[in-house]
Amino acid sequence: MSHPPINHSDIPIRLFKSDFLEFFTHISPVVVTIIWLPVAGVFLARAILAHTDTAFPVYIPAGFVIGMFLWTLSEYSLHRWLFHFRPRNAWQERVTFLFHGIHHAQPQLKTRLVMPPAVSIPLAVIFYGLCWLIAGKLFGLPHWVDPLAAGLTLGYLIYDLTHYATHHFPMKWGYLKFLRRYHMLHHFKTPDARYGVTSPLWDWVFRTMTEG
């Protein structure tokens, strides 16, 4: 992705001529929480209610934790290869700007720090489909699908809220301080590195801790 110059204005860069479309490019972290926290809860509740054996359902907490862990890889992959996709023509450049370039152009704009439902809902459908296809069909473990989906959903929500916090809260202590500094380095020093938001793990694995 080509990195646009930073615009420090509080006036949002307009993305669409249509006021209707423009409205959906702005989103609050409260709305994201209201949408996705219940979704994660529904997946978890369905998994618990579907369990009929008397033995403790170890697969539910295991699938949930695995789902959250898999989200960290998904977060890194989406950020690095989709949001920072290097466009080859004007159409691709426009799309990458809509997806993520606008955030690098106005990194402190509060209403464009979390993923709008127009993007997150289709992605959620894809992720759930992958859980169903891989766990349910490929491995023959359909009871793992909902715990995995619950973990992925909560992992995504934590990612979005963490991202918002790194831009708008002091985060002066411990790991949160580290995450804020890490993400600010991505924005202002190494935009082609440090893709992790909730964890630097995959930057370490794929050697993108620093630019180049």
Whole-number mean pLDDT of the chain? 93
Query: Is 17 inside any structural domain?
Result: no
For residue 63, what are the CA distances in angstroms to 72, 74, 110, 147?
15, 16, 33, 5
Does 19 score more than 80 pLDDT?
yes
Q: What is the pTM of this model?
A: 0.92
Query: Is 21 inside any structural domain?
Result: no
Query: Is 2 inside any structural domain?
Result: no
For residue 184, what are the CA distances in angstroms to 5, 65, 119?
15, 28, 24
Query: Is 45 inside any structural domain?
Result: yes
Q: How confident is the model at residue 22 (pLDDT cuts 50, 70, 90)?
A: very high
3-state secondary structure of 131: helix
Q: How confident is the model at residue 211 (pLDDT cuts 50, 70, 90)?
A: low
The domain in which residue 39 lies consists of 29-205
Rounded CA gap, 116 and 135, in Å?
28
Query: Is 23 inside any structural domain?
Result: no
Query: Is 58 inside any structural domain?
Result: yes
The pLDDT tens digits for 80-135 are 999 999 989 999 999 899 889 999 999 989 999 999 999 999 999 999 999 999 99
Does 212 score more than 80 pLDDT?
no
Structural domain count, the chain:
1
pLDDT (0 to 100) of residue 52 = 84
Query: Is 117 inside any structural domain?
Result: yes
Q: What is the sign of the dihedral through the CA atoms of 126, 127, 130 and 136?
A: negative
pLDDT (0 to 100) of residue 55 = 81
Query: Is 141 inside any structural domain?
Result: yes
Phi and psi angles of residue 86, each rounded to the nearest 5 degrees, phi first: -90, 110
Q: Are 60 and 144 in contact (CB under 8 A)?
A: no
The pLDDT tens digits for 52-71 are 887 889 999 999 999 999 99
Exposure of 58 by Cβ count < 10 A (0-12 exposed, 13-18 middle, 19+ buried)?
exposed
Does 43 score more than 60 pLDDT?
yes
